[in-house]
Structure 1
Amino acid sequence: MKKVLIITYYWPPAGGPGVQRWLKFVKYLKDFNIEPVVYAPQNPTYPITDESFLEEIPADLTIIKQPIFEPYGFASVFSKKKTKTISKGIISAKSQSPIEKLLLWIRGNFFIPDARRFWIKPSVKFLSDYLTKEKINTVITTGPPHSLHLIGLRLKRQLNIQWIADFRDPWTTIGYHNKLRLKKTSMAKHKILEGEVLNSADKIITTSFTTKNEFYYITEKPIKVITNGYDVEDIEKVPLSREFTISHIGSLLSGRNPNILWQALAKIVKENEDFAKNFKLQLAGVVSKDVLKSIYNYGLKEYVEISGYLSHKDSLKLQRSSQVLLLIEINAEETKCIIPGKLFEYMSAERPIIAVGPENWDAEKIITETNIGKCFAYDKKGELKKYILSLYKNYKEDNLRVNPIGLKKYSRKSLTEELSKFILSD
């Protein structure tokens, strides 16, 4: 059985989608003749925690932890609330305070590639000895944070191990980069580091087709798309809501604000008394003030229920009890590559999906081929209204369901098999 070291920042009790990808992979890797060893920080600053993920760690998994220094503690002296908000990725494009502008400028220009850069040197020192002692010759780094790829880069140079870089999100083309107030020299440094990683790693994994295409022009190294997925063992049957619930589970950042959806819902509520009587918009997770303001401005406040952050288990229950599930992405060129992890959990819930995102969004390809819903660009207001009404008609006839196609390839076990083949390939 081949031993592989996985270097990850997000590990239980971290919450959110970032932790689930490798937590699920390590669950199945031994089934495919690979023994994973996980290296994670001992004292991380997680903006969201979820203790329920601790129960999913395999009992026989070897986990190594080393201390990490993170500057968020010092930044919180200036503004604890703003620091936590920025660390969650919630960066409002409007009305930034002077403190928020300062924190973003410091974050963007002093901590390159990110605020976990201080973990690189001590990790390389520790892992150089550990890998040699344990005779492990394959390392996988997963980012963001992209500082972890720099750990892999240095280990590759020192030990000439096989190194695989897993990109859950892109690097320099990710949406929030243009909000970090980067100087030209800082942006150039990101580009250089990105190029070094992509051309030094032996193999590269991306979670989206667009990111693979972007990297294709930077490196000639093998690139494999392995998306996120769903775990069949997580599925639990729960009764459907009696109301016509349209639910969004996860963070609704300021940019994820589809006014066409709020407009369509407001118009239907106004025109259709029966719809208004049964409709509920359920939001579970962090919701920015900008998004809530838009929803309320369209007169939908009385239909909104805000649940706050839910544990992973409770999120799954909500998905399965909802009549319709909502998937939203920022309308921008750089977000076409984002395939939210919750899409795959939505998929396993087998409830109709309304997706609103950029034109030619990677997620649209998956939604269409699996027949689990419909995706709308931000200028398709009339079509969106018509689709909502068709879903409501089926709800009233007790016939609101989907007929999915080919979901098995997105199960975590199937994806882990693909991963194992890529690891073991020459």
Structure 2
Amino acid sequence: MDLRDLWSQSHLIVGTSSYNKTYLQEQEYLRSADKTLVVTEGIRRLTLKKFPELREDKVFTLTNGYDVDDFRDIKVKFINKKFTLTFIGSWYKARSENSFISALYQLATNSNFLQRIQFRFVGNISADIQKQLAPLADTGFIVFRPQVTHREALSEVLNADVVILIESNLFELKLNHSNKLFEYLGSGKPILAIAPIDGEAAQLIRQERAGIVVDPDNPNEICYGIVDLFNRFEHNPHRDIVLGTYPNYNRKNLTRELANILDEVCAQKILDRE
């Protein structure tokens, strides 16, 4: 069974009248499955906690991943005129960390940063956020770009010096990884994660040494993180792009791992029949 995300433990179910029925449904499927796959260790731990009758070896973590071929033949600039930090995807009002917006304004008070740093937000950025950041957009410190094709989004990633991940404090989201995290990893670009420090995304980024994680509720920490990345860029502006730096999340390797799990299940079935 490929459970992937939360089922009965989703915030959409917990505390509602349908919780007990949904829990029993999930329990039935978990018991009948030979193996169950989930996307993060956090979800795996929660599943084993909520269904203590399950054996640990019945639940596997198989993350999402990236495809190196998606990045092939994308034209990349040799170097940006400004230190460029790029966010791709959707940034909703509910996820608009006021501390991040405060940090951007704080950085813009420094004329050196204002002239030498650019933030690019590409995708579905809420009108409320664009309104809050409009004065910074007028200076060129921030650039908004509407939704683009997947290939063009990856071009933005490869042409960035740093990519930005914004994660919510919502319990369920802390247990998950954003899909774009893996494309960020596939690009080999350093990640600025404005994310809960105890969330799954933060743990993965620290584990892989793929970037830095800053507290989304601390504008000073966000500023220090950006300045730190800027200083690293100043010392090494010609950083080479290395695609597939994190092979554990390459979809070919993940598919190989899935095939091994399926082989194990099939072999056990044959033994059971004998």
1:414 matches 2:250: no
Structure 2 counterparts to residues 202-281 of structure 1, below 5 A: 202-217=34-49, 218=51, 220=54, 222-236=58-72, 238-239=76-77, 240-270=79-109, 272-281=110-119
2:2 maps to amino acid: A
Structure 2 counterparts to residues 181-196 of structure 1, below 5 A: 184-196=16-28
Any conservation in 1 of the 2:187–2:241 contact (CA below 8 Å)? no
Deviates more, 1:236-245 or 1:198-207: 236-245
Instruction: Tell me what 1:320 maps to.
Output: 158
Any conservation in 2 of the 1:319–1:349 contact (CA below 8 Å)? yes
Instruction: Tell me what 2:271 maps to.
Output: none
Distance 2:107 2:199 in 1: 27
* 1:293 CA drift (Å): 4.2
Residues 258 and 406 (structure 1), Cα distance of their counterparts in 2 relative to 1, 3 Å cut = same
Distance 1:247 1:241 in 2: 12
* 1:365 CA drift (Å): 1.8
Equivalent residue in structure 1 for 2:205, among 367, 383, 398: 367
Distance 1:174 1:291 in 2: 27
Instruction: Tell me what 1:165 maps to.
Output: 2
Instruction: Tell me what 1:379 maps to.
Output: 217
Instruction: Tell me what 2:272 maps to.
Output: none
1:235 maps to amino acid: F
Residues 250 and 287 (structure 1), Cα distance of their counterparts in 2 relative to 1, 3 Å cut = same
* 1:191 CA drift (Å): 2.9
CA RMSD of aligned residues (A): 2.6
The alignment-based identity, stated in percent, is 27
Unpaired runs of at least 5, structure 1: 1-163
* 1:356 CA drift (Å): 1.3
After superposition, what is the alpha-carbon deviation per residue over 1:245-290, rounded to whole angstroms, capped at 9, x for unaligned? 22111121333222222211211111x2121123322122222234
* TM-score normalised by structure 2 residue count: 0.82
1:197 matches 2:49: no
Unpaired runs of at least 5, structure 2: 269-274
After superposition, what is the alpha-carbon deviation per residue over 1:212-256, rounded to whole angstroms, capped at 9, x for unaligned? 111112251611111111222222351143222221111213332
2:48 maps to amino acid: Y
Distance 1:268 1:400 in 2: 24
* 1:408 CA drift (Å): 1.5
Residues 197 and 304 (structure 1), Cα distance of their counterparts in 2 relative to 1, 3 Å cut = farther
Distance 1:342 1:288 in 2: 18
Give the secondary-structure state (helix, strand or coil) at the position aligned to 2:255: helix
Give the secondary-structure state (helix, strand or coil) at the position aligned to 2:90: coil
Distance 1:386 1:423 in 2: 46
Give the secondary-structure state (helix, strand or coil) at the position aligned to 1:365: helix
Any conservation in 2 of the 1:332–1:358 contact (CA below 8 Å)? no
Residues 166 and 211 (structure 1), Cα distance of their counterparts in 2 relative to 1, 3 Å cut = same
Any conservation in 2 of the 1:256–1:291 contact (CA below 8 Å)? no
Q: Where do 4+ consecutive residues of structure 1 move more than 6 Å?
A: 402-406
1:267 maps to amino acid: Q
Any conservation in 2 of the 1:344–1:410 contact (CA below 8 Å)? yes
Give the secondary-structure state (helix, strand or coil) at the position aligned to 2:60: strand
Residues 397 and 359 (structure 1), Cα distance of their counterparts in 2 relative to 1, 3 Å cut = closer
Higher RCO, Cα 8 Å, sep 6+: 2
